Structure 1
């Protein structure tokens, strides 16, 4: 009796968690497929960019490049700048109306680090890939959409676990990959559903779990701001607001580079932005290997005096978030891993679609069985 109750309980969990999240998971799988190949698709939609400069030309100073960006967008203030490994010889600068303005109103500029020439002023809030990304991340609903998709991810993980508990013992009685072609269509799809579920099990757990972590990006940022960043900037809590000219960015980067010679600069956040304080440059350093380049190390430099005030390793929960982002889209292993991710993504679409079919087929079969029972009862009563 206990076993029957246990099976019924797992069946209930598997049915309802699957039904609730299936439509949104189909959307995630469909939008996730082009996002796996976002770099390749973006390259197809734009001309190949090559940075040209005379041989032997030294790179411009970071201060000069930021000044060029501000002149290109008069009235804007500098917010972020970062170096893109995919496009060496360029510096990406973000400017906005204020240090805390929304990214949707910000302007972006790509500068040639050798000539200072403006290479591009991209618009990131339009186009096919932007639509796919927003649908995948937050359904164009901001933090509420992210948390909702995170809830769907949790239901997905529960559906996987309940599926293992429900069908694992049953499948031990059959050969792996067995599909009963001589049986009904519903049984064939059930066997296909179970087989693909087992094949994609590990991948689905990894992608589902990392997807849930990714939806917590705003929560992770807030926890870091209220925790480590507050600790690092505590001595400046009552400091007077910045005024006048600021210290050199190039000197700030040089100071941090001496403290972390095994790393390279990745991103600089200016005073007043979400990644810094009102008195500091936040310089984020990254490793030089495919794994360590995802793990950032923040350093704070007094934007007025140019002195290094603190440098620390990120908390474990922030590093977990950094690692989960590329793992979710298969960005660690180049094209071979992306192809594997895409195959599993397509298999998951089949699993979700077959799950819906099985549910509707089961309901139809139950209705037909009930109708037959009612018909037989009426015939007996009239006899």
Structure 2
């Protein structure tokens, strides 16, 4: 009498266990996919807003003028606590001034030309860094998933003793399941150093707040600022009494004179317009992995020295190097392309790994059409959702609710997968995604012509990616058809 309910309970537990595993795999896949895309986030920002006036240089005098113009334009608003001047770079030859209230592009003379409105690029960055959750909790979750992925990569290699010896064995003409397993194993080996680098640095960045909190409780009585100060420098005592704006031009001139090999990338003004204001200039150093050294100045632009990220304690240098090592922001375009390709390979490893796991469950009698359809939604619905979010931004404007619409779209597809799994197969999400990529590339190129050459290079890359996915998908479908026919023939022969 008690047999069937117990069996049903076990089946439900197994289904819940599998669903949780699928959820973890889905989040890892989304993080890996968006991470591959935002390697060139500066280039995407330029691609998203192609009509903004560009300038390769912002002189110290122009930087001073830009700060003054932006602060004057915010008269009547609460005083900003931090003001950032992003200097032009080859990837993004546009200067940006950001306050607590808004961000503005400025031209080479420091004049305001347009509001910064790259909401789609910011949407991608937020999805990768904290999954659009509250930032602290989201970064902790992403960091924990980075640790899990690192463990999966290492244990995956250790679980296959022949994996290194067979690193170039690809049985692509056999059953698609075998080919999928070969690609999963081979790419897992080829991307191992990269995967460990990005997952461990991602975990360091994501879980950094947890580590700092623990150190603060143990050594500084819970004062987080004292812990951060040991790495990134401390700040002078605030003084809210009003004063004139700081002399950022003098600070930039000082960096040029004292550290001529360094290239300023950011100017940060703390509490501008107060007696306690001070200035930091972040400057890149050539042939260094650190994101830059921070040089400190008072409100008059007087030199107060570097923080020590370039030549201080090894811990400081390591902390300052984690960001570039994770995001690939060093050594220019060749490294960026390598990071994109390796990141996409990691996406394939994640996708094929879960697909193989679902196939193994099916062969053991625990298959689930709902789980398999849900995974199809994650693999192909996620990039499709990212593309649709761009279309929404392009048609509605930067104020479009991209985060809400993306997650509603993905939730609707997952709901369909749970209710009508066959509907997901009928939608041919891979084909739709390929078509959407092609339309996006061609449509963007046509709408923005003439424009920066770099933008058309991205359009060409998107179109090439669409063609590659279509070709691989067509070959896989043909191989699956042949393998299915062979299995049918062998079954008929046995009977």
Using structure 2 for the length normalisation, give the TM-score: 0.56
Shift of residue 244 of structure 1? 3.3
Following TM superposition, by how much is the alpha carbon of 1:340 offset from its aligned partner in structure 2, in angstroms?
2.8
Q: Which residue of 2 aligns with 1:226?
A: 226
Correspondence 1:294 to 2:291: yes
In the TM superposition, 1:1-383 aligns within 5 A as 21-47=24-50, 49-51=52-54, 60=61, 62-76=63-77, 77-78=79-80, 79-86=83-90, 91-96=95-100, 106-114=101-109, 116-124=110-118, 126-127=119-120, 129-141=121-133, 142-167=135-160, 169-171=161-163, 175-179=166-170, 186-216=177-207, 225-227=225-227, 229=229, 237=237, 241-245=240-244, 247-255=246-254, 259-272=258-271, 279-289=276-286, 291=288, 294-301=291-298, 303=299, 307-309=302-304, 311-314=306-309, 316-367=314-365
Aligned-partner Cα distance in 2 for 1:251–1:185: 64
Once residues 367 and 204 of structure 1 are traced to their aligned partners in structure 2, the CA distance between those partners, rounded to angstroms, is 33
Q: Specify every segment of 5 or more residues in structure 2 that has no aligned partner in the other structure, as ranges.
A: 1-17, 217-223, 367-495
**Separation in structure 2 between the aligned mates of residue 228 and residue 203 of structure 1, nearest angstrom:** 28
State the alpha-carbon separation in 1 of the partners of residues 175 and 301 from structure 2: 75
Mean CA deviation greater in 204-213 or 177-186:
177-186
Deviation at 1:38, TM superposition (A): 2.9
1:354–1:312 Cα change, 3 Å: closer
Is the 2:267–2:282 Cα contact (8 Å) retained in structure 1?
no
Instruction: Indicate conservation of the 8 Å contact 1:81/1:93, yes or no.
Output: yes
Tell me if the contact between 1:109 and 1:118 (Cα under 8 Å) persists in the aligned partners.
yes
Q: CA 1:333 to 1:306, structure 2 compared with 1: closer, same or farther past 3 Å?
A: closer
Structure 1 gap segments, 5+ residues each: 1-14, 97-105, 369-383
1:102 match = none
Distance in 2 between the 1:177 and 1:89 partners? Answer: 42
How far apart are residue 41 of structure 1 and its match?
3.2
Flag the structure with more relative contact order, 1 or 2, with Cα contacts below 8 A and sequence separation at least 6.
Answer: 1
Call closer, same or farther: CA 1:243–1:185 in 2, change over 3 Å.
Answer: closer
Task: Indicate the residue corresponding to 2:413 in structure 1.
Answer: none
Deviations 1:81-125 (A, max 9, x none): 2322238986432223xxxxxxxxx211222343x422222134x
**Which whole-Å CA distance do the structure 2 matches of 1:153 and 1:286 have between them?**
29
Quote the offset at 1:175 in angstroms.
Answer: 4.2
Would you say the 8 A contact 1:210–1:327 is kept in 2? yes
Could you say which structure has the higher helix fraction? 2
Q: How far apart in 1 are the matches of 2:129 and 2:50?
A: 27
Is contact 1:21–1:156 with CA below 8 Å preserved after alignment?
no
For the structure 1 residues 342 and 244, does the alpha-carbon distance in structure 2 shift closer, same or farther, using more than 3 Å as the test? closer
**Helix, strand or coil for the counterpart of 2:363?**
helix
- Indicate if the aligned counterparts of 2:103 and 2:115 stay in contact, CA closer than 8 A: yes
